[in-house]
Structure 1
Amino acid sequence: MSAGEFYYEQKILENDLISLVPFDQDIHTSKLVHEVKTHDLLKFIPFPKFESNEEFIKSFWAPVRDAPGECLYAIIDKATARVSGESDAYAGTMALTATSKENAATEIGIMIFPAFQRTHVATNAVGLLLKYTLDPPPAGGLGLRRVEWKCHSENAGSRRAALRMGFEFEGIARWHRAFTLGDSAEELEKRNGTKGELRGRHTAIFAITWDEWDEKRPKVVALMERKH
């Protein structure tokens, strides 16, 4: 994604433990597709179904790559890379989506690969994006007014993570999303009252806003500085 297609420059965000680098189709696609095919990472995430690099690029990456308001980061675990001697440790993805310059608002999304779950990775990835989106421009941020976190209402882990990072629970949007991943048509209809393969999602909505960021920011930074 070029800077001209988004209202800010998509740049590397990093601290001593991780870095968020703009997603590179040639570098990051294969590992992402492998992780999704190997593990049940899409249970609660409305990604288009893909079985190959080509399907991922066509069904997900190509529409996102050039869309204003959308950007995708690869999470690199610098701490693991230092210990293992690897050149990098690709740990998952982080996204800003539905970003609106007019409304000064965005939504973040995160997918951590299983080997890096329950480590410092998620906390630092979310923390870096919160500082970038909510800090004022003189401090190097975008100065947005609202950052949302939306997840499947049944995704208890994601809901706990949102609260831990300082997001406020705002409610459930019923039948908010529909997607065709995972279960059989029979299981979907039994579980969600839908027809065919259309899975319905009740969405839990969380947010942090600019008028509470000054209070919440030190707590986010403290979480990032904890030794895990």
Structure 2
Amino acid sequence: MPKMNDYGQPIGASVPGWSPVALPTAQRVEGRYCALEHLDADRHADDLYVAYAAAPDDRDWTYLPYGPFADPESYRVWATAAARSADPRHYAVIDQATGRALGTLSLMRQDPANGVIEVGNVVFSRSLQRTPISTEAQYLAMRHVFDDLGYRRYEWKCDSLNAPSCRAAERLGFTYEGIFRQAVVYKGRNRDTAWFALIDRDWPGVRDAFERWLDPANFDAEGNQRQALAVPER
């Protein structure tokens, strides 16, 4: 039953001791397979363009508001502007084995007063997709948001027609919350936005599931997973 105020009205649960949290910073976030580094065009743009250009087609850009990029120079222009942004705060995903940047993601729509933040602009190259690095990169962003910065709510939003993104959100432990109709116009077309979120009380169980999955013992000699990522049902 909800708490009632003196007028007999239901009100939300108290959040004792709450105070605004910190904004994401440019600090490097370390993992076993990868690290997240603040995007820097001079250090990362060339690697990222090469990684993206290796794809046989441009389908990875369909649901993004930018891209594809015709040449390294046009990507560098985008990366230079993105690196200057504090919101979104863009990060390059660095392969620990090679030191090369293979993808990007961002922490965006930052609301430190309410402890709400969104992960977005996820652009993972084909060499990064479906690898332990891609899963760990998402885990590192979550861990940074919840454990380092103290946020209460972590959001994932995507075009409702982007089935791979919706499946990824659910695999990673986000809860589907519904569709905002006609939320965005991008690339000259409508976007109905699917909303997903992970909240702080869900995070400990999700974190444990990620850590079990990322354990080297979960992978065979060829790097194939032994057990799938299994976040707790809620």
TM bin, normalised by shorter chain, reads 0.7 to 0.9
Tell me the equivalent position of 2:9: none
TM-score (norm 2): 0.73
Structure 2 counterpart of 1:149, one-letter code: W
Q: Determine which structure has more spread, i.e. the larger CA radius of gyration.
A: 2
Q: CA RMSD in A?
A: 2.2
1:45 to 49, 64, 87: 64
Seq. identity, %: 31
- Residue 165 of structure 1, CA deviation: 1.1
- Is residue 48–residue 60 contact of structure 1 (8 Å, CA) maintained in 2? no
- Residue 89 of structure 1, CA deviation: 3.1
Moved over 6 A (4+): none
Tell me the equivalent position of 2:202: 212
Correspondences of 1:51-66 after superposition (within 5 Å): 51-59=70-78, 61-62=80-81, 64-66=82-84
Q: Which has the higher helix share?
A: 1
TM-score (norm 1): 0.75
- Residue 17 of structure 1, CA deviation: 1.0
Quote the Cα distance in structure 2 between the aligned partners of 1:49 and 1:147.
27
- C-alpha deviations, 1:58-107, integer Å up to 9, x for none? 45642x434443211111122xx3xxxxx423221121111121121111
Tell me the equivalent position of 2:105: 94
Tell me the equivalent position of 2:229: none
Cα 1:116–1:48 shift into 2, 3 Å: closer
Give the gaps of 5 or more residues in structure 2. 1-21, 220-224, 226-234
- Residue 44 of structure 1, CA deviation: 1.1
Correspondences of 1:3-152 after superposition (within 5 Å): 7-36=23-52, 39=55, 40=58, 41-47=60-66, 50-59=69-78, 61-62=80-81, 64-78=82-96, 81=97, 87-109=98-120, 110-135=122-147, 141-152=148-159
Quote the Cα distance in structure 2 between the aligned partners of 1:120 and 1:98.
27
Aligned residues between the structures: 193
Quote the Cα distance in structure 2 between the aligned partners of 1:144 and 1:165.
17
Give the gaps of 5 or more residues in structure 1. 1-5, 82-86, 136-140, 181-197
